């Protein structure tokens, strides 16, 4: 008894027939496509035929003003905007010679000239002290004796006191050198602190300059020049630019 062969209801593919689009697999990397066949493009999902609302295969145009393209009026370019990292560093000195916050600034010209004049007065005081130290006691004794002999009242007082002129000359020399050394130190301190904007140094210098004006009467030329230099320096220290600088220095110290 012969067995019936199973009927094959599926249509058999003919040799050399091309598969339909549904049966084609997407090409893989490294697989060579048959001649005349183009790779399939991925189809967008239903309901969104064009991603981002643009034609497939094209990129959306950049926004106006980006990458150097001209934008709307008043809209800066994307690369033309100032970078926040290009801002000025707080540790750099401001442009234009301005001083940073917390500094009174450079001393004005009046303060610098006053500083020089007061130092010059101190230098002349030092010179006077050196001359006094180099003067022999015998020469000082002779000078004092001439002064005493020229005044009868003064000569009588010396005779009553029994004071020797040589002892007075030695004591005068020692005191003069000590006071001149103190004067040099005071001139230097007042000049330095006025330059730093100290109001106390300016007031102290004013008092000392007023007292030194007494030396203008009957003093020698060196003493007169010394007094005038110191007084001129104090006058410059009271001018308006100097006062503004000292006031600013005081304000900075108060904030600290």
Mean pLDDT of 46-53: 51
- Chain center to CA of 118: 28
Instruction: Name the residue with higher pLDDT: 171 or 11.
Output: 171
Q: Contact at 8 Å (CB) between 113 and 234?
A: no
Instruction: Name the residue with higher pLDDT: 217 or 55.
Output: 217
Q: Which of 205, 186, 195 is nearest to 122 (CA)?
A: 186
Mean pLDDT of 218-236: 91
Mean pLDDT of 230-248: 95
pTM for the predicted model, two decimal places: 0.57
Instruction: Report the alpha-carbon angle 64-69-59, nearest 5.
Output: 65
Instruction: Name the residue with higher pLDDT: 194 or 57.
Output: 194
pLDDT beyond 50 at 235: yes
pLDDT at 227: 93
pLDDT beyond 80 at 74: no
pLDDT at 205: 96
Poorest-pLDDT segment among 52-56, 61-65, 73-77, 247-251: 73-77
Mean pLDDT of 20-31: 54
pLDDT at 132: 87
| 46 band by pLDDT with thresholds 50, 70 and 90 | low
pLDDT at 41: 58
pLDDT at 2: 45
Residue 199, Cβ density class (10 Å: 0-12 exposed, 13-18 middle, ≥19 buried): middle
pLDDT at 11: 46
- Tens digits of residue pLDDT in 79-118: 545 454 445 444 344 444 455 555 678 999 999 999 999 9
Q: How far apart are the C-alpha atoms of 30 and 240, rounded to whole Å?
A: 89
pLDDT at 94: 43
Mean pLDDT of 164-182: 90
């Amino acid at each position: 008894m012969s067995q019936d062969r199973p009927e094959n209801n599926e249509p058999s593919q003919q040799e050399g027939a091309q598969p339909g689009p549904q049966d084609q697999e997407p090409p893989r990397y490294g697989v060579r496509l048959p001649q005349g066949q183009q790779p399939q493009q991925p189809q967008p999902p239903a309901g969104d035929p064009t991603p981002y609302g643009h034609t497939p295969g094209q990129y959306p145009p950049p926004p106006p003003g980006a990458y150097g393209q001209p934008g709307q009026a008043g809209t800066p370019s994307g690369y033309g905007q100032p970078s926040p990292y290009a801002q000025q560093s707080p540790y750099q000195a401001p442009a234009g010679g301005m001083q940073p916050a917390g500094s009174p600034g450079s001393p004005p010209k009046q303060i610098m000239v006053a500083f020089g004049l007061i130092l010059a007065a101190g230098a002349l005081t030092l010179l006077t002290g050196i001359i006094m130290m180099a003067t022999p006691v015998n020469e000082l004794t002779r000078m004092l004796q001439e002064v005493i002999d020229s005044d009868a009242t003064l000569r009588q007082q010396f005779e009553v006191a029994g004071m020797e002129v040589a002892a007075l000359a030695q004591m005068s020399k020692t005191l003069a050198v000590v006071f001149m050394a103190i004067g040099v130190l005071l001139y230097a301190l007042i000049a330095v602190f006025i330059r730093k904007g100290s109001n106390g140094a300016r007031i102290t210098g004013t008092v000392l300059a007023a007292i030194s004006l007494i030396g203008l009467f009957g003093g020698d030329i060196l003493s007169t020049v010394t007094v005038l230099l110191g007084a001129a320096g104090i006058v410059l220290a009271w001018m308006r630019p100097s006062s503004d600088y000292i006031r600013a220095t005081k304000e900075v110290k108060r904030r600290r």
